[in-house]
Amino acid sequence: MRCSRLLALALAFCLLWGLTACAKTGGGPAEQPAMEAEEHTLTIWAWDDTFNVKAANLAKAYYAKTDPGVQVDIVTMAQTDIITRLNTAFSSSNYEGLPNIVLIEDYRIQNFLKSYPGEFRDLSSIVDPNKFMEYKLRVMTEEGKIYGVPFDSGAAALFYRTDYLQAAGYTQEDMQNLTWNEYIEIGKDVKAATGKYMLTLDPSDLGQVRIMMQSAGAWYVKEDGESVDIAENEVLKASLSTYQRMVDSGIALQVSGWDPFVKAFQEGEVASVPSGCWVMSNIVKAEEQSGKWAVAPIPRLDGIPESVNASSIGGGSWYVLSSVPGADLAVDFLGKTFASNEQLIDDLVKDISLVSTMKSAKDLKYRSEPSEFFGGQRIYEDLAAWTEQIPPVNYGLYTYTMEDIIAQSLQSIMQGADMDETLKNAQTQARASVLHS
């Protein structure tokens, strides 16, 4: 009897042992390696394959020399998509699939910094404020802390076709330090002489208006970045009427979206591109037009004494997301590349026609070289000089929200509505939307 009881015990033990063995095999391998792999992978989001994506790739190559163990994934994504994804992620605190480093346009960064404090890493440790231009740093500085690494200059310039202008009887001398009225007159002559439009305008994107406003140090908001400044904004009014005159004079090709904008100058449909210097990488792509281009300072507003022949449009900077694993590595990456590496900047000038916002970049080799494409002009020097004259502006948080409203108002004005009345409505509308957002 005792014998069988002992056996039962042994059997029970065996069963138990078998069960625990089962349970043990159920567990997967440790998740340690996955975490470690993440630590050595960086993801970067940018939006322009010919420009900032290319820049990131170059930086990756430079970084690989110092730290070959790190894998850097660079993803091209539409800018609006990037903004949507960041907003979604921040508002839900779900950081899955977000990059470590992201390029954000200067107009938008204030909104992010104010709406989601703590989501971006303080980069004061790697960014030396003396090294970069002030107008650029201002938008990414919050309570004395610098949250981004300035990348491209948004310096506006007037790129134009020397051949078309010559056909209309204008020399390069004639193109220096124009006012917009003079520019429109020239445009009319060009149109008459060559049948080509002077420039493209995108009714949904008021880049031209922004260029004009910043040339006078004005914006949709006052200097505090918060008070809506539309109805009483003389600079805005002057800009809008200039825009209207451009349209009415018939020198502007209406395009919608990026692709027709680029195609217009690449296919020789327009005689000039008054835009940010980042557009250069697309201009030089049309190699058959080499030597036919020149760069002049951006025109200034008539009747506005503060307006200078320098302005800015767009331009972006690199930011590090603090909640995505690998933030320290990302900081190291930026610190060793865009924040300090002048050799990299020099290469970028050569490869993507970057106009850097790094002050010391002035002395670099390529920067002083004459550009063959632009007829031997030392464009980088010129652009750098203009960049330094850009009046600083506090873009505030809602540039694009207000631009939607202004674009609509502009259409009304062009359809014949009274400007003061329309802008008064716009002011109310803008204030409401700012309060609501």
Partner 1 sequence: MEKILEKLRSNSLLLKILSVMLLSVICVATLTLSISIRASEDVYVDTFTESNSQIIGQIRENMGRFNDEISEIMSVIKNNWAFRSYLTSEDRSSATASYTQYSMVWNLEHALPPDYFEKMSIVLVGVNGSSYLSSDAGLTVSVEELLDSAVTQETRRQPNRILYQYVDDGFTTLTQGDSAIVASTGLNYAGGQSNYGYAYVVIPQEVLRDFYSSFSSDANSLMLLDSEGRIISSTQKELIGFKNLELLETAQQVEENSLPYGEIVQSGRQMAVVAQEIPHWNFHLVGLIDRESILRAVGSYKPIEIMTLLVVLCVFAIMFLVVRKTTRPIHSLVAEMKQVTQGDFSRHIPVEGNYEVRELATAFNYMLDGLDSYMEQIMTIEDEKREAEIRALQMQINPHFIYNTLASLKWMIWQGNSESAVQAIDSFSRLLRGTISKREERIPAAEELDNLKDYVFLQHLRFGEQIQVRFSLAEDCRNCLMPKLTLQPFVENAFFHAFSGAEEGSIFVSVRRRGNDLVSEIIDNGSGMKQEEVGRTLSTGGKADHFTGIGIKNVDDRIKLLYGAQYGVSISSEPGKGTAVTITIPAQEKESKDPTNL
What is the H or E stretch that residue 319 is in?
Answer: strand 316-320
Contacts with partner 1, 107-136, as mask; x by CB under 8 A:
------------------------------
Q: How far is the CB of 358 from partner 1 (least distance, A)?
A: 26
By the rule CB under 8 A, 239 interacts with partner 1: no
Handedness of CA 301, 307, 310, 315 (dihedral sign): negative
- The full DSSP string for 126-157 is T--GGGB-HHHHHHHEETTEE-EEE-B--BEE
Q: Tell which one of 67, 81, 232, 363 touches partner 1 (CB under 8 A).
A: 81
Sheet with strand 148-150: strands edge to edge: 71-76, 41-46, 101-105, 316-320, 148-150
By the rule CB under 8 A, 3 interacts with partner 1: yes
By the rule CB under 8 A, 418 interacts with partner 1: no
Q: Tell which one of 66, 71, 80, 227 touches partner 1 (CB under 8 A).
A: 80
Q: Which is nearer to partner 1, 285 or 365 (CB)?
A: 285
Residue type, 392: P
Q: Which of residues 40-59 bind partner 1 (CB under 8 A)?
A: 47, 49
- Burial pattern 183-200, b for ≥16 Cβ within 10 A else e, equals bbebbebbbebbebbbbb
Q: Which of 114, 94, 86 is nearest to 437 (CA)?
A: 114
What is the H or E stretch that residue 194 is in?
Answer: helix 180-194
By the rule CB under 8 A, 92 interacts with partner 1: no
| # chain residues binding partner 1, by CB under 8 A | 47
By the rule CB under 8 A, 256 interacts with partner 1: yes
By the rule CB under 8 A, 32 interacts with partner 1: no
Q: How far is the CB of 190 from partner 1 (least distance, A)?
A: 13
By the rule CB under 8 A, 26 interacts with partner 1: yes
How far is the first Cα of the chain from the last one, in angstroms, to the nearest whole number? Answer: 83
Residue type, 129: P
Q: Which of 125, 122, 100 is nearest to 113 (CA)?
A: 122
> What residues contact residue 277 under an 8 Å CB cut-off, 6+ apart?
152, 153, 154, 155, 156, 157, 353, 355, 383
Enumerate the β-bridge partners of residue 319.
102, 148
Query: How far, in Å, CA of 301 to CA of 316, rounded?
Result: 25
Enumerate the β-bridge partners of residue 101.
44, 320
By the rule CB under 8 A, 247 interacts with partner 1: yes
Q: Select the span of 13-21, 123-131, 352-360, 373-381 touching partner 1 (CB under 8 A).
A: 13-21
What is the H or E stretch that residue 65 is in?
Answer: helix 52-66
Q: Select the span of 22-30, 106-114, 291-299, 424-432 touching partner 1 (CB under 8 A).
A: 22-30
Q: Which is nearer to partner 1, 327 or 407 (CB)?
A: 407
Contacts with partner 1, 201-230, as mask; x by CB under 8 A:
xxxx--------------------------
Q: Select the span of 109-117, 171-179, 252-260, 301-309 touching partner 1 (CB under 8 A).
A: 252-260
Q: Which is nearer to partner 1, 252 or 397 (CB)?
A: 252
Q: Which is nearer to partner 1, 48 or 382 (CB)?
A: 48
Q: Select the span of 143-151, 273-281, 329-337, 411-419 touching partner 1 (CB under 8 A).
A: 411-419
Three-state SS for 397? coil
Q: Which is nearer to partner 1, 28 or 33 (CB)?
A: 28
By the rule CB under 8 A, 262 interacts with partner 1: yes
Q: How far is the CB of 51 from partner 1 (least distance, A)?
A: 12
Q: Which is nearer to partner 1, 263 or 378 (CB)?
A: 263
**Cβ atoms within 10 Å, residue 378:** 16
- The full DSSP string for 246-302 is HHHTT-EEE--SHHHHHHHHHTT-BSEEEEEGGGHHHHTT-GGGTTSEEEEEPPB-T
Residue pair 57/86 in contact by the 8 Å Cβ criterion: no
By the rule CB under 8 A, 11 interacts with partner 1: yes
Q: How far is the CB of 152 from partner 1 (least distance, A)?
A: 16
Q: How far is the CB of 125 from partner 1 (least distance, A)?
A: 33
Q: Tell which one of 66, 94, 254, 437 touches partner 1 (CB under 8 A).
A: 254
By the rule CB under 8 A, 252 interacts with partner 1: yes
Distances in Å between the Cα of 125 and the Cα atoms of 122, 152, 342, 429 are 8, 20, 18, 41
Q: Which is nearer to partner 1, 249 or 394 (CB)?
A: 249
Residue pair 316/395 in contact by the 8 Å Cβ criterion: no
Which residues are near partner 1 by CB under 8 A? 3-4, 7, 10-11, 14-15, 17-19, 21-22, 25-26, 47, 49, 78-81, 84, 197, 201-204, 244, 247-248, 250-260, 262-263, 407-408, 411, 414-415
